[in-house]
Chain A
Amino acid sequence: MSYFLGADVGSVSTNLVLIDADNKVKEALYLRTKGQPMQAIQKGIKMLRTRIGLKAQIMGVGTTGSARQLAATLLGADVIKNEITAHAVAASRLYPQVRTILEIGGQDSKIIILRDGIVVDFAMNTVCAAGTGSFLDQQAARLGLPIGEFASLAVKADNPVRIAGRCSVFAESDMIHKQQLGHSLPDIVAGLCQAMVRNYLNNIGKNKRILGPILFQGGVAANPGIHRAFENELGQEITIPEHFSVMGALGAAYLAQEKVGLTAKPTHFRGLEMAESSFQAGSFDCSGCANNCEIIRIKQNEEILAQWGDRCGKWSGNIGKEEDNKAAGHK
């Protein structure tokens, strides 16, 4: 069998998706990145290999997510795309009619507006992580609940309390205050969901025409409290796609298929054996000028696979054997 692989390596989760020749999702993995993207990718490939066998052929690889460059280096990607395009491609392939995508992930949230299957507008949160998955994670941890249980609590609420959602720091103190007053836990969690949704629509959704059909995807779509709060706020039904948590990876797989199909070139994929290779990641401060850029270097044995982080291109343009670099006068 032959497949296309899509990898979405984000701050919180590392997702891998395999699609087969009929565009069907063969395998979908959702792993926690736990701050170690390289290990997470290798672990994911190992798991995929045991499921599809070594004979399976990977025809093309696409990567996306905030660690897309790192993932591309490790896997040998044919296409590297930003998350917005990847999410939009996956959504419009599965639901050609979709006009709005709400996406909330670990560290970022976005809204994508499509018309006739084409992205016409989008917005992403700024540096602030208020109203993203990692905030929900934190709050669940503070209450000592697994995130799954935390999410289902909201549905049991009778009378959600009002919580300030503008900033997650204020939201937290508001929650503690409400809790000390004696409000029930489900009411507080439901209030938090509503506050997050309000904040999302006021910030990310500002100046956007949110028209149905609407898709809600990203890891946070697993939270029924948020789903319900969105439906109440927008006054219409919101669909959660079957593979909501891995839509970015799915989009990357579709993009790889598009690219490889168009150019008919062999894939750059390093092979399923890459799960066993040892990669070394390191960083150092370049002392070439006053900028002191932090350079990240990925090595496999003695070979430098990739370097980035420099502003001038002195390092990123220079990959290959370390010996050659020394000869060229670099460190």
Chain B
Amino acid sequence: MLEDLREWIKEEASKCMFCGFCETVCPTIKFGPHRGYGPRGRVNIALYISEGGKYTEEALSSLYSCLLCAACTLKCPANIDIPEIVRASRVLYSEDSLKEAIVVEKKVS
């Protein structure tokens, strides 16, 4: 189930052609510290995670600073479901970090 989700993210996010048109309507990139606070950044960070990349601090800021407002979907020439990629990536993080927490708890006890 989780693996299906990972695969879906990979497939959907791979459609990104990096044109950046989405950034012009994104409310957060204007006030964020870097490109990760825009849809193009989020899609590509989701791709990075789905390909086995680490949940770094900036990856998490990128994914959790998204408003899910879907303004980007009006501009994306590849019709990528950007809010759904962000949601799905958050599910992955929750599940992965939960697993990690359980492992740590076991080790401690």
The answer to whether A binds B is no
What residues of chain B have their CB less than 8 Å away from a CB belonging to chain A? none
